[in-house]
Chains A and B, each alone.
Chain A
Amino acid sequence: MSDAPGFPVPRHAAVHYSTWIVGGVVALVCSLLIGSMIGPAGPVWWRVPLEFLDRLPFVSIDSGMTPYEWNVVWQIRAPRVVLAALVGAMLSLAGASYQGVFRNPLVDPYLLGVAAGAGLGATMVFALRDGAKSTWWIDPLPLAAFAGALLAVIVTYTVGTAFGRTRSSVTLVLAGVAVTSLATAIQAFVLQRNNDVVRQVYSWILGRLSSATWGDVRLILPYVAASTVALLLHRRLLDVMRVGDDEAIALGTNVRRVRLVVVLAATFGTAAAVAVSGLIGFVGIIVPHAVRLLAGASYRIVLPMSVLVGASFLVLADIPSRVLANPAETPIGVVTAFFGAPFFLLLLRTREVSQ
C-alpha cells in the first residue's frame, strides 16, 4: 500500500499518528478510571465510575457511595493515581528525549546522575533526621532529592562540556558515569555509618507512590508541565538530530543549544518526579522503545505517545503494587520490571519477526 502512486504518504502518516494519539488518550483515561476503582479499602469497584459521573455537572446518578468511601477514593486513591500518571509520563518522556539527544537507545533519564544525586540527597535526609521528623516544618525528603539530582547533573554538564572539546556527547555520558559513581560512593559511605536507615533508603530507592497526597501532585505539577511542553516542542528537532551532530549542523540546527535545552528540561522534570516517587526504574527506557516498536521511530510520535503510554503504564503498574501484598506495599519499581519486562520481550519478539 505504500507503493501507491502519487503522494498520499505524508497525509497517510499524519492520519496514522493521530490514530495512535487518540488510542493513547483512550488508554490513559481507562487506566485512570481503573486505577481509581481498585484498592484494598474503599467502595465496591463499580460504584466509583458512577460516583464520578454523578459529580459531573448536569448529571445525577445514585452510586450509593458513603461519604467515608468517597474520601478514600478522592483523598487517598485519586492523588496516587494522578501522581503515578505524572511520574510515568515524565520518566518516559525524559527517557525518550535523552535517547534522542544522545542518539543512544540504551540511555535512560537517570543517565547524567539524576538517580545517584537524588539517592544521595535522600540518604542524607534519612541519616540526619533520625526520627525527629516533627522538628521540620516542611518535608525535607523531596527537597533534598530534587537538589541532589539537579546538583549531580549540573556537575556532569559543566565537567562534561568543559573537557569535551570534540563536541561529542560521549564525554558528557562518561562524565555522568563518573558523577554517578562518586555520588553512589558517598551514599554507601554515609549508609555504612548509619546502618539503621539502610532499610528506609532501600525502600526509597525501589520507588513508592504509597504516601501520595494532592500536595505531592501540586508540588511536581508545574515542573512536569513545563518540562513536558518544552520537550514536546523539540520533537521535530530530535528527528533532525537522528542523523548525527555533523549532518544536523549542516542541515541548519544549533545542535549544542538543542542538546542543552532538552537535557535541562528532561532533568528538571525527572528530578521533580524522583523527588516524590523515588527511583522507579525501567519506565524511562522501556516505554519509549515499546512506542517505537508499535507506532514508529519518528520523535513526532515517540514523544507524545511516551507521555500517554508512560502515564497509563505506571497507573496500571501501581494497582498490583497496592493489592498484591496487602496490607503491605510491593515497591512499584519491582512491579514495573516484573510485568513490564516480559511484555517488552514479547513485543520485541513479535515485532522483530513481523518486520
Chain B
Amino acid sequence: MTTLGFCDLRVSYDGAPAVNGFNDILHSGEWLCLIGPNGAGKSSILRATAGLVQYTGSVAVDQVEIPNTSPRWRARHIAYVPQSPVIPADMTVNDYVLLGRNPYVDHFASESDDDRRVVEDVIEQLELSRFVGRKLGTLSGGERQRLVIARALAQEAPVLLLDEPTSALDIGHQQHALELVDRLRRERGLTVVSAMHDLTLAGLYADRLVLLHQGHAVAQGPAREVLRAETLSEFYGVAVRVHHEPDGTVVVIPRRVATA
C-alpha cells in the first residue's frame, strides 16, 4: 500500500510562481488527472514529484520526503514519463527498456538475469516482443509511446507519473495507451498521476480530476463535477459544450465563437 501526499506544494521558476500550494493525497490503485490550460502548473507538480525541480512544502511517498531521497530510491518508487521523452534513434528496444532497471543495478555492474527477466516480462506484456532488436528510430509514434511506458514499468515503481502521455497519438492509440495504464494500475495497484489536455479522455479514465489555473487547484472531484461548461469557459477562456452520455461519460465539445 503506497500513498503519495502533497502538502502546500509550491514551485517557482526565477521567482515566478508556477504552483501555488497544491494539496492532495492518493492511495494505491488511484488515478489522479491534472487538467488546466498551458502553464497552469501540471508539469511542475509532476517534475517536483520526480525530484527534478526544487520546491517548498511537502511531497512524500509513504511519508518519505522527496528531497531526502537519493535518485536511486526515487527511481525505485516513482516512474516518470516526460512530455517528450528523448528517443535515441540508434538504441535498440531491448536496451531502452533495460534502462528502467538502472536503479537496481550497482553503478559499475551490469544487469542481472533477474533484471533481464523483468524486462522480458514487461516487453511481452506490452506486446513489444517483435520489436526487441529494432532500433527506436524505426518505430511509429504509438509504438514509442508503449515503449516509454514499458521502460517506466520496468522500474517496478508503485507510483507512475505521466506527462501528456497521449498528446502525440491518434485516437486509436490514445485509447490503447490509456487502457493499458488503466489495466496496469488495477493489476499492479499503481498510483497514477497524469497531466492531460484532452478533457474527455481525462474524465473517461481518471478517478478524480484536478483543474489547475495559475498554480491553484480551482476545482476537483469526479469528471461530472469538474467538467462543467461554465467552469471550463471561465478558466480556459473559450466556449465549450458539455454533453453527458447515458453511461456517465462526460464529453467536452469545443464551440466556435460566433463570427458576425
Contacts and interface: CB of A to CB of B under 8 A. Distances in A.
B94 A10 contact: yes
Contact of A247 (B82, B105, B130): B82
Interface string B142-167: 00000000000001000000000000
B110 A236 contact: yes
A9 B94 contact: yes
A185 interface: no
Nearest to A355: B135
Contacts of B109: 236
Contact of B71 (A13, A253, A297): A253
A292 B130 contact: no
Given A2-B133, A251-B103, A239 B86 contact: no
B100 A298 contact: no
Q: How large is the interface on A (under 10, 10 to 19, 20 to 34, 35 or more residues)?
A: 20 to 34
A79 to B, nearest CB: 33
Given A9-B132, A246-B82, A251 B90 contact: no
A5 B52 CA distance: 38
A307 to B, nearest CB: 17
Contact of B116 (A10, A244, A296): A10
Given A233-B108, A239-B99, A240-B99, A250 B91 contact: no
B13 to A, nearest CB: 11
A236 B50 CA distance: 22
A61 B242 CA distance: 94
A130 interface: no
B240 to A, nearest CB: 33
A261 to B, nearest CB: 10
Interface stretch (B18-26, B72-80, B184-192, B224-232): B72-80
Contact of A13 (B79, B94, B134): B94
A2 B72 CA distance: 32
B120 interface: yes
A243 B99 contact: yes
A7 to B, nearest CB: 5
A354 B50 CA distance: 41
A251 B102 contact: yes
Contact of A2 (B74, B79, B95, B134): B134
Nearest to B161: A250
Contacts of A243: 85-86, 88, 99
B94 A251 contact: no
Nearest to A292: B90
Contacts of A240: 99, 102
5 contacts: A1-B133, A233-B108, A246-B52, A251-B102, A252-B103
Give the 6 A-B CB pairs with smallest separation, nearest first.
Answer: A2-B133, A252-B75, A252-B103, A297-B90, A244-B86, A252-B72
Interface of A: 1-3, 5, 7, 9-10, 12-13, 233-234, 236-237, 239-240, 242-244, 246-247, 249-254, 292, 296-298
Given A7-B129, A252-B75, 14 more contacts: A7-B123, A9-B94, A10-B94, A13-B94, A237-B107, A243-B85, A246-B52, A250-B75, A251-B103, A251-B155, A252-B70, A252-B72, A296-B92, A298-B92
